[in-house]
A and B are shown apart, each in its own frame.
Chain A
Amino acid sequence: MKIRELALYTGTALSLLTTSMMASAAKVELEVASWKGAGAEVSNFPTIIKKFESQYPDIKVKLNYMARNDMVTVIPARFQAGTPPDVLMVDREFISHWAGNGQLMEIGDQDFVQRIKPDLHPYLGLGKDVYYSMLQVSGMGVFVNDDLFAKAGITQYPETISEFTAACKKLNDHNITPTLLAANNGGWTPYVFFLALGLTDGDVPDPGRIEKLATGKIKFSDDQSMKNAFEAFRQMIDAKCFNPKISAGTDPWSVALTTFQSGRVAMLPQGMWNVTPFLKDELPENFSFHPYPSINGKNGVAMDYIGPGWSIPKDAKNVDAAKKWIDFWSQDENLKIYLESDISLSTLQDGTSSLSQLPLAENYVDARNKLHFVTFPIGSIPNDLVDHMLISITAFMLDSKQDYNKILASWDKVIEKVLAKQ
């Protein structure tokens, strides 16, 4: 009797083990490498992964989270070894490197690509080849502490540089620091502000301008909008909108944010992605997000920042599962879960944009809807010129009396050198 029982239990245990082993063997493990989804940027990933796994019970998602900067080191080694993750989070910069090296799969024929807004298609790859499915369009503009504006008696956000400098005067009269243009760690914030000013050639900017400038069809030194951008910087410095030296030494990713959040500065040019943490902290208590003031038009100009998205490496093992993953994310009901936590604009046609639902970003969304926006030119400007621009704009900030025509001419020279190499 006992032997029979033992045999029965053993048999049952073995069959259960075999069944579970077969079930796990049948499951595809989809490795997703991403710089969002854990740690400081959870972005509702656990909810989305759970939903995905319940829709596709045969796929188990293995999220390999790493900082974006670490991807630069880790992923190329895996590409070369022929063992890349199944799905990769990428942005325009990664696309230009990895797709350019033939390490990513062309996905232009996939249905999910057709769901993306047509005006974003030129940014999905290289030339006509599509390499990634973009998740969000983020943006850059100016955060405003509404309480400090009210204290200085400013009732309307400045749309032009002259209105901006007038606002700075009012703020200074009330002993309020108007702006912090944090330039430490590479001079990124002034660079973006400058591009927003210089790429705008009117109220509805020509989106093709950057291409013409980067290919030498328009000379920087001949371009009045670029000259006006330098003039705008000069006017802001003269009006004491910001202290160039303090700004040059301030880190935009940490100190600048805490300075603005603690109410020590009225305006902060920064990225839309900060809306979420500012709201979470309830600091500043009352704030809003606006387009950059314009020097070449009458309306403020928003700056689109082409966001990250999913791509499939050429040597990915589980291509079908990877396509299902991207397809899943490219449905509004799923993407909006992500966008709820990472406030930005949806890339899908008729997609739900979390930013549009926020009254604090009304002015920004309005500017964008009226096509008063330019796109941040990731990958469009040659790297040599980007480095040169970053340095020379910060240098101009520190010495605004210098002749900007010489700076613009030096940019043209860099373009000439790059073109000569090609």
Chain B
Amino acid sequence: MMSMKKTLVQTKANTLSDKKGTTGISKMFTKRSIKTFSLITVMSAIVLIILAPVFYMVMMSFRSRKEIMLDPLNLPSELHFSNYVKVVQDMDYLGAIINTVGITVSSIVLVALISSLAAYPLARIKNKWTNLIYIFFMLGMVIPPFAALTPLYLFIRDLGLLDSYIGLILVYTVGNLPLGVFFYTSFMKSIPRELEEAAQLDGASFIKTYWYIIFPMLKPITGTLAIFVTLSCWNDVINPLLFLTTESKLTIMPAVLRFLGTYSVDPTQLFPAAVLASLPLLCVFIVLSKQVVSGMTAGAVK
């Protein structure tokens, strides 16, 4: 009898604890669902806010001027591909893209190479001189670009490189060097010295150690730097306008800005031009999205 009572009490207790547990789990589940739902809602709203202007730009690029004037926020009644055809013809699209890609890639290669070479001793040798040199590089980041425009122009003129691609590549390289040195120096400090010591034990020279051991390890941070350099070259207007005077040498952004008049705007030209200008960059980012994200988060977690 006693044992039966015990079992009954035990069963009751079990049932009670089960009920308690189920309620706890369901409560937790509901809490988590609400949290997830809210997060998704907020994130979706942010994405929508970011994408809305892009969507508007694309939609407008297919509309006629009259349609835009009469109802600026509506969708196109029919797709006016002729807007794109006209813009491609007017702006020498292919030429501008080739120029931009050439200049951008050359600048990335030069910045990556020179700044990583400069950063290597700065990260490894610690004394007041390297600190001073590092600060000197960092000063380059705080100088407003407009203040450096005239000295740079004089410099490029004296080199006889005005109206040449090399001149503009040099300008971008010089402009992005401080950023490169900053990125690489910070990153290299996190690379264990033991790796270099092992290479030195195997008889590798300073340059060999750099080239075979250090440089391959800089891949993620080089990706991040490449993104920054690409954006600064791609979106720049002033430097191409100043250093290039031949129309066929112009990069994409000055070519797009031609459709923006001083006192007026023709949306049937400006919108397609803006879409065309951002398209190659968008394609690159979609194709390389994984590398871009890994590059952006490189060094974030040690």
Contacts and interface: CB of A to CB of B under 8 A. Distances in A.
B258 A39 contact: yes
Interface stretch (B180-188, B241-249, B277-285, B291-299): B241-249
Interface residues of A, number: 39
A277 interface: yes
A36 B82 CA distance: 24
A73 B264 contact: no
Nearest to A85: B245
A277 B247 CA distance: 26
B93 to A, nearest CB: 14
Contact of A39 (B153, B246, B259): B259
Contacts of B270: 40
A208 B152 CA distance: 45
A258 interface: yes
A94 interface: no
B216 interface: no
Contacts of B132: none
A73 B153 CA distance: 12
Contacts of B237: 70
A257 to B, nearest CB: 7
Contacts, number: 95
Nearest to B246: A62
B262 A258 contact: no
A40 B69 contact: no
A258 B69 contact: yes
A9 interface: no
B146 interface: yes
A66 B254 contact: yes
Contacts of B90: 39
B138 interface: no
B219 interface: no
A80 B150 contact: yes
Given A39-B258, A40-B258, A262-B70, A81 B154 contact: yes
Contacts of B264: 40-41, 253, 257, 273-274, 277
Which of the four size classes fits the interface of chain B?
35 or more
A282 to B, nearest CB: 8
A254 interface: yes
A73 B66 CA distance: 35
Contact of A80 (B154, B245, B261, B263): B154
Interface in A212-262: 253-254, 257-258, 261-262
A24 B44 CA distance: 61
A104 to B, nearest CB: 18
Contact of A67 (B66, B70, B262): B262
A279 B154 CA distance: 46
Given A70-B238, A70-B241, A80-B154, A262 B71 contact: yes
B261 A40 contact: yes
A136 to B, nearest CB: 13
A209 to B, nearest CB: 27
Contacts of A122: none
A38 B265 contact: no
A271 interface: yes
B95 to A, nearest CB: 15
Interface string A49-78: 000000000000011111111100110111
B102 interface: no
Contacts of B269: 39-40
A201 interface: no
Interface of B: 65-66, 68-72, 90, 146, 149-150, 153-154, 157, 162, 237-238, 241-242, 245-247, 254, 257-266, 269-270
8 contacts: A64-B247, A66-B241, A69-B262, A70-B241, A73-B149, A77-B150, A77-B242, A253-B263
Interface of A: 31, 35-36, 38-41, 62-70, 73-74, 76-78, 80-81, 83, 85, 253-254, 257-258, 261-263, 271, 273-274, 277, 281-283
